[in-house]
Chains A and B, each alone.
Chain A
Amino acid sequence: MTSAVNLRKVPLTTARGTAALDPQVIRRDFPVFENNPGLVFLDSAASAQKPRAVIDGIAEFYRRDYANVHRGVYRLSARSTDLFEEAREKVRRFLNAADHHEIVFVRGTTEGINLVANSYGTNFIKAGDEVLITELEHHSNIVPWQMLCERVGSKLVVVPIEATGGLDMAALDRLIGPRTKLVAMTHVANTTGAMLPIETITRLAHERGAKVLIDGAQAAPRMTVDVQAIDCDFYVFSGHKAYGPTGIGVLYGKRALLDAMPPWESGGGMILNVTYEKTTYQEPPHRFEAGTPDISGVVGLGMAIDYLEGLGRDRIFAHEEALTGYAVDVLSALPGVRVPAAGQRRLAVVSLDVEGIHPHDLATILDQHKVAVRAGHHCAQPLMDKLGLAATTRASLGVYNDESDIDALAAAIRAAQDLFGGARAPR
C-alpha cells in the first residue's frame, strides 16, 4: 500500500520517547494553544483538542487520496478504501480486538450504544429480563436502555455507588442474577473520573450468563484497552474525545454476536443481494455501516490513534493519573472547596463544589482567567441527584495538561472567592 506513505509526511509528534510525557512539548503539537495564548484547557472530557497530525492529515487526505470507498473500480477509490480499511486495522490494534470484522464505525459512543440496544437488545432481550447499569453512567448509557426496556418489557436495574464514589460491589453481586441479560457500564465515569473494575465485573456477569457492554468514551483516550483481556462483549468509544475528528466513533463487538445481530439502519453498502422479495445482508462490520461512511472521519481517527500510540498509551495513563492525584490534592486543600466522590481510584476528571459560588458563576469567572472548564450536570442528572448537587464544575485532563494548569485553576478559584467576598449563598 503505497498510499499510506503520503500521510506520514506529517510529523506525528515531537514528544516521542520513553521518559515521562512532557506536556509543554506536547502542547506544540496542538495549534489551538498557539492561537489562544494563555489558554488553560481543562475540558478534554467533553472533547479533546486536535493535534496538527490530525488536522493537517485530514486536509492532506482530501487533497491527495479522497474518493468514495468500497465502490469505485478506479485507483483513487481503491487508495481511499485502503486508507479507510487501514484505519479500521489501527482501531483493531488500538483495542486489541481479535478480528477487524469486529470493528464497526459509528458516529460516536452514543450511536454505538444505541446500535447495540436496538439491534442486540431488541432481538435478544425479552420481557422479564433485566439490564443492569450503574449510578455512574452518562445519559447516553441510561436512556437507550430505558427505551429498550419500555419496548420489550424488560427491567432496568441500577447498581448504586458507595459514599466514596466507587461502585458498591456487594450490591452488584446481589443484583446480577439469572434474569440479567446485559450489564452496561462505564470504564471511567465522566462526572467523577471513577475507574470501574471492569474485568472483575465482566467475569462475574459472564459466570451468570449476562453479556457486557463497556462505555469507553473517557477511558480509550487515556489508557491501554485490551478487549480480549477484559473479555467484554461490546466496547464503544468516540473519536473526538480521543484527539480525532467529531462525528466518528467505534463499536467493538465479539464476532459471534455481531454475526447474530440484524442491521439497524438500511441502505447501500450493507447488503449482499437485493430483490424486491428478499435482501441478504453483508457480514459485519459492513452490515452496520449503511450508506457512505464518514470517510475522512475514519481516516482522521486512524491518525489520532497513531498520535496517541506515538506518545505511548501507558505513558499517557501514568501522566494523567498522577496529574489527577495532584489536582485532587491541590483543589481539595483550598478553603471552601469540596471534591465530591474523591475516595476511589480516578482518572482525568475532577468535579468541584465551591461553597457559595454556583458552578455557572464560577465557570464565567474562570473563563475570564482563560481557564476553560465544564459547568453543569455533565449529562448525568441521576448521579448529581445522588451526590446532592444541582450541578458541579468539572475540570478534566488531556495529554497537554500539566501542574501549571491545575495551579492556574486553583488561583482562578481563589479570585472567584475574593470576588464573591467569601459570602455564603443559600443553596
Chain B
Amino acid sequence: MMDLRELYQDIILDHGHHPRNKRAIEQPSHFAHGHNPLCGDKVTIYLKMDGERIGDVSFEGRGCAISTAAASLMTEILKGKTIAEADTLFRAFHAKVTGGAEPEPVEALADDLERLEPLTGVRAFPIRVKCATLPWHAFEAALKSGAIGTTVKTE
C-alpha cells in the first residue's frame, strides 16, 4: 500500500478542513470558474489588483481535500505578488506536480515554492493531479479574462 500520508499530509488536511481566503471578493478586477467534470469539483477564483501587485485573492467552491487545500495555499502565496511572479509560481508548481520541466528557479520565490511542496504528493496518484492544479488553472484563466469572467474545465 502506498503511504497515504504522503498524499494527505497534515498541512493538506489542515487547509482542506479549514481553508484560508474562502470567500467572495466584491467587484473583483479578475475572476474565473474552474470545473472538473470528472468529480464535479467547482472553484471560483477572485482577484483584486493593487497597482502592479495582487492586492487580494480568494476562492469559493466545493471540492475534495486536495483541491480545497491547493486553492487555500495558492491564495495565501499569491497575495502581494506581481503577475510575472504569479505566472512563474504557476509554471513551477505545475511542473512539480506533473513531473514536467521546471522553469528557471527564482530566488525570491523559493520560500513560496517550498510551501507548495506538500501538494506534490499527488504525483504518485496521477488521477488526482487535476485536483491540485484546478485552482491554478482557474487563476490563470482569471488573469486572462479580467472582470468579464470565464470558465475553465479540466480535460
Q: Which residues of A contact B (CB under 8 A)?
A: 356-361, 364-365, 368-369, 375-377, 381, 384, 390-391, 419-421, 423-427
In the complex the two chains form, is A364's CB within 8 Å of B7's CB? Answer: yes
A369-B40 CB under 8 A given contacts A358-B65, A420-B8, A425-B17: no
Q: Is B101 an interface residue (CB 8 A)?
A: no
Nearest CB of A to B34, in Å: 14
A375-B62 CB under 8 A given contacts A365-B4, A369-B1, A426-B17: no
Nearest CB of A to B89, in Å: 25
CB-CB under 8 A from A357, the residues of chain B are 65
In the complex the two chains form, is B64's CB within 8 Å of A361's CB? Answer: yes
Chain B residue nearest to A421 in the complex (CB)? B13
Besides A369-B1, A426-B17, 12 more A-B contacts (Cβ < 8 Å) are A359-B39, A360-B63, A360-B64, A360-B131, A361-B8, A361-B66, A364-B125, A377-B40, A391-B39, A419-B5, A420-B65, A425-B65
Grouping DSSP codes into helix (H, G, I), strand (E, B) and loop, the A interface class, with mixed when no group exceeds half, is loop
A391-B66 CB under 8 A given contacts A364-B128, A419-B4: no
In the complex the two chains form, is A426's CB within 8 Å of B19's CB? Answer: yes
Chain A residue nearest to B16 in the complex (CB)? A425
With A and B bound together, what is the CA distance between A356 and B125 in angstroms? 21
Q: Is B58 an interface residue (CB 8 A)?
A: no
Which of A358, A376, A391 has the most chain B CB within a 10 Å cutoff?
A358
Which of A361, A364, A368 has the most chain B CB within a 10 Å cutoff?
A361
Chain B residue nearest to A423 in the complex (CB)? B17
Write the B1-37 contact mask toward A (1 if CB under 8 angstroms, else 0): 1101101100001001101001000000000000000
Q: Which of B19, B22, B39, B42 contacts A360 (CB 8 A)?
A: B39
In the complex the two chains form, is B19's CB within 8 Å of A376's CB? Answer: no
In the complex the two chains form, is B39's CB within 8 Å of A375's CB? Answer: yes
Q: Is B41 an interface residue (CB 8 A)?
A: yes
A420-B13 CB under 8 A given contacts A368-B1, A377-B40: yes
In the complex the two chains form, is B8's CB within 8 Å of A360's CB? Answer: no
CB-CB under 8 A from B75, the residues of chain A are none
Chain B residue nearest to A378 in the complex (CB)? B40
Nearest CB of B to A420, in Å: 6
* 8 cross-chain pairs, A with B, having the tightest CB-CB distances, nearest first: A358-B64, A360-B64, A423-B17, A360-B39, A361-B64, A425-B17, A391-B40, A361-B65
In the complex the two chains form, is A423's CB within 8 Å of B13's CB? Answer: yes
With A and B bound together, what is the CA distance between A420 and B17 in angstroms? 9
In the complex the two chains form, is B1's CB within 8 Å of A358's CB? Answer: no
Nearest CB of A to B21, in Å: 13
Chain A residue nearest to B14 in the complex (CB)? A423
In the complex the two chains form, is A356's CB within 8 Å of B17's CB? Answer: yes
B38-92: which have CB < 8 Å to A?
Answer: 38-42, 62-66, 68
With A and B bound together, what is the CA distance between A408 and B21 in angstroms? 38
In the complex the two chains form, is A376's CB within 8 Å of B38's CB? Answer: yes
CB-CB under 8 A from B66, the residues of chain A are 360-361
Which of A357, A368, A425 has the most chain B CB within a 10 Å cutoff?
A425
Nearest CB of B to A140, in Å: 16
In the complex the two chains form, is A419's CB within 8 Å of B17's CB? Answer: no
In the complex the two chains form, is B13's CB within 8 Å of A358's CB? Answer: no
In the complex the two chains form, is A376's CB within 8 Å of B39's CB? Answer: yes
Nearest CB of B to A83, in Å: 39
Can you pick out 20 interface pairs between chain A and chain B where the beta carbons lie within 8 Å of each other?
Answer: A358-B63, A358-B65, A359-B39, A360-B41, A360-B131, A361-B66, A364-B125, A368-B1, A369-B1, A375-B39, A376-B40, A384-B40, A390-B42, A390-B62, A419-B5, A419-B8, A420-B13, A420-B65, A423-B13, A425-B68
CB-CB under 8 A from A425, the residues of chain B are 16-17, 65, 68
CB-CB under 8 A from B41, the residues of chain A are 360, 390
With A and B bound together, what is the CA distance between A364 and B5 in angstroms? 12
With A and B bound together, what is the CA distance between A368 and B121 in angstroms? 14
CB-CB under 8 A from A426, the residues of chain B are 17, 19, 22
In the complex the two chains form, is A424's CB within 8 Å of B17's CB? Answer: yes
With A and B bound together, what is the CA distance between A423 and B39 in angstroms? 22
Write the B80-111 contact mask toward A (1 if CB under 8 angstroms, else 0): 00000000000000000000000000000000
With A and B bound together, what is the CA distance between A369 and B19 in angstroms? 28
With A and B bound together, what is the CA distance between A365 and B121 in angstroms? 14
Chain B residue nearest to A391 in the complex (CB)? B40
CB-CB under 8 A from A423, the residues of chain B are 13, 17
CB-CB under 8 A from A361, the residues of chain B are 8, 64-66
